[in-house]
Structure 1
Amino acid sequence: MEQGLTHEGGTFLNFRDYPFLDTRAPAFRWVDIKRLRLPGAPLADAELLAALIGHEQFRDDYAGGGVDPEGTRHGPYWLNRVTPEAYEPMDASLAAQALWAWADQYEPLPAGLATDLRREAVDAWTTTDRVHRLTGLGEDDHHDWGGVHGEFHEFVAIDRRAGRITLLVAADD
């Protein structure tokens, strides 16, 4: 059940599209951002997370297959293992620090990529009610080929003033 969430579009930032100084830095890193319009009725965070998990845009294995409306995978996890309880609420500034730590782990980001990542994700988090991070799943929850990502980071930002929920996945594969 999608609970009235409407997919508005998204942004895909492929690190290969930006020139890095150190060509040894892993190039197979990316950030996928999906934006959905909130329903008119007010819902608690757990209800919004459940609505997002139930939305077809959430059925993405992030391994090149794209959204599969009948899919059973979400990133490296079995879809049925992802629940609202698997998300940890966190301060937006801490979420931004975690995202930057992942993005800058090999070398500072090229200026264009840093600007795009700040504009598309981090700046938007400053107005959110709350950011949630997927942390409550482990290797036992991985699907049959779920280990393809070197790292997989997922954040959900709820911005009631803007009427939007944003799903951000950052990974390397």
Structure 2
Amino acid sequence: MELVDETRVRMAPGMYSWCMLLTFTIAPTAPAADLIGSLLAHPRYRHDCISPWSGATEPVHGPYRLEALKPDGFQRCSRAHAVASLWSWPATNLNPWGSSEFLLSRELVMAWTAPIMTAADEIYRLSVPREGNEHSYGWVIGLNGFHEFVAICRERATATAIIASDD
């Protein structure tokens, strides 16, 4: 598995939310559990998602201890479920005066993620509970939610981790 693209989408001004897309090459015939296992083992996946990535230093991912994440912690979900989660996420704890920022953020998320999810043959959602699985400073990330999906496109031989959160 090789990282071939990394994109960080910042939300509208005044919002501390972002969406990170990590796209990897895959063996198209590999079982999804093997692909997710390779993703979890990739050095680029080691990232607290709080500061810019500067190399795999700590065994963490987002708010989680890396050891708490296993392939079976990703549950297959429908495209509609993934889209609905990402569509509604920027509104979590929305400041009532920030409606224009919310609409812009929603559009930014969908513009970047919809083509990936549309092309995917399979989509998996990270379903590991945070309680008991967070690292020592994991509470800092995702106060309005930490959403992660893995979109597998066998035709393009790619898997994209879609990570949406705030810091």
Q: Structure 1 length normalisation: TM-score?
A: 0.84
Instruction: Report the CA distance between 1:67 and its aligned residue.
Output: 5.0
Instruction: Report the CA distance between 1:56 and its aligned residue.
Output: 0.9
* Cα RMSD, aligned residues only: 1.7
Distance 2:26 2:54 in 1: 20
Unaligned runs of 5+ in 1: none
Give the aligned partner of residue 35 of structure 1. Answer: 23
The correspondence for 1:62, drawn from 46, 49, 64, is 49
1:127 matched to 2:127: no
Amino acid at match of 2:117: W
Amino acid at match of 1:166: T
Unaligned runs of 5+ in 2: none
SS of 2:75's equivalent in the other structure is strand
Q: Deviations over 1:79-108 (max 9, x none)?
A: 111001111110011101001110244334
Count of residue pairs brought into register by the alignment? 158
Identity over aligned pairs, percent: 25
Would the aligned equivalents of 1:157 and 1:165 in 2 still touch at CA under 8 Å? yes
The correspondence for 1:77, drawn from 64, 67, 83, is 64
Instruction: Report the CA distance between 1:114 and its aligned residue.
Output: 4.3
Q: Deviations over 1:125-151 (max 9, x none)?
A: 012111111112331000011100202
Would the aligned equivalents of 1:34 and 1:168 in 2 still touch at CA under 8 Å? yes
Give the aligned partner of residue 14 of structure 1. Answer: 10
Q: Structure 2 length normalisation: TM-score?
A: 0.87
